[in-house]
Amino acid sequence: MICAGSGGVGKTTTSAAIAAGLAADGKRVAVVTIDPARRLADALGLDELTNQPELVDGERFAAAGLEIKGELWAMTLDSRRTFDELIETLSPDAQTRDQILGNRIYEQLSGAVAGSQEFTAIAKLYELDRSGRFDAIVLDTPPSRNALDFLDAPDRLTGFFDGRALKLLLAPTGFAARALGLGTGAILGVLKRITGAELLEDLSVFFQALGGLIDGFRERAEAVRALLADPGTTFVVISSPQRDSAEEAIFFAGKLRSAQMELGALIINRVHSVGQPAPTLAAAASQLGAEFDAPLAAKLLNSYSDSLNLAERDAATIKRLTEEIGEPVIVPELAGDVHDVEGLIAIHDQLFVTR
């Protein structure tokens, strides 16, 4: 289950609440978060979240009223470490692995390749899926402003490895070298005068070592692409009633449809309401005026007016999201920030129907 949405919509805590609900139903679940903040680790009772799943103590949830019948595991994505692990897996031997991991070009490239964070997120998803350790995996993703990056990450990464510049470096005796009448040494000699000897030597060693991994990267990218399109993979789009996040949710849902990927649910967090039926401002003014002195009644009326405006705005946004995406699950605005197990359970109770 891949949870996507813009920043600030409660995506990380919603992902954790979904994972907790699945674990409460008896499943062995892993939640993978992109957010490095300690709040989720603190809420789950863990000293820290690492690049490997850590078991959450179910007693922590039981004490707050939710019995975890299965197992809940949590981790945070370390993009660099995940990329390192991928290099280690695909390297044909220890020498190639060490040449790449110890190369200063790799130090910069591993974090700079376009789409690398998004690719490593789904690479970790693939790794956990293939391990067979879990009944369900819930992935918190980067903000959906990067929706194109996330969904297109396999293609963009293989596009990098198929790029003309990389091919030239991997095959310096190819067409360009032959056309110039130059061999590898001559090309490097020209470039050394421009960029310095050490850099070019590092580039040469790095790209030559990387050349043996390209087929492996292509195969892994194909496997990741297949996992995203697998019927067992579903996307949950998370939004708030704010206009910008709603528009991004609509955009992301459209991308999913275009890619023929499964949209499992739309969740709208932090929704304001005033209950039904809501008194009119005139009726509220009359009631408040009868119960409080004029200055306090005026302040209360202003507050109620603001609440009405927020509720109307949220209702209009919900209507638009429903028309564009489908019937949503509504999570009301909670008091304070969700930073503990009680807050996660409060979100859980809005998402799961108790039978």
Residues in the chain: 355
Token pair for 293: 């002195």
Instruction: List phi, psi (to 5°) of 303.
Output: -65, -45
Ranges of the chain with pLDDT below 70: 35-37, 108-117, 144-150, 156-201, 203, 336, 354-355
277 upstream amide cis, omega within 30 of 0: yes
pLDDT of amino acid 58: 93
Q: What is this structure's pTM? A: 0.82
Structural domains in the chain, sorted by start: 2-276+308-351 (3.40.50.300)
The tokens for 336 are: 């304070």
For residue 151, what pLDDT is reported? 74
Tens-digit pLDDT profile for residues 109-161: 665 554 466 777 888 888 999 999 999 999 988 775 555 566 777 776 666 66
pLDDT score for 177: 42
- Give the C-alpha distances (Å, rounded to integers) separating 118 from 81, 105, 122, 236: 14, 21, 7, 16
Instruction: Characterize 21-35 residue by residue with b for buried, 16 or more Cβ atoms within 10 angstroms of its Cβ, and e for exposed.
Output: bbbbeebebbbbbbb
Angle at 104 between CA 77 and CA 37, to 5 degrees: 25
Look at residue 200 in the predicted model and tell me its pLDDT.
63
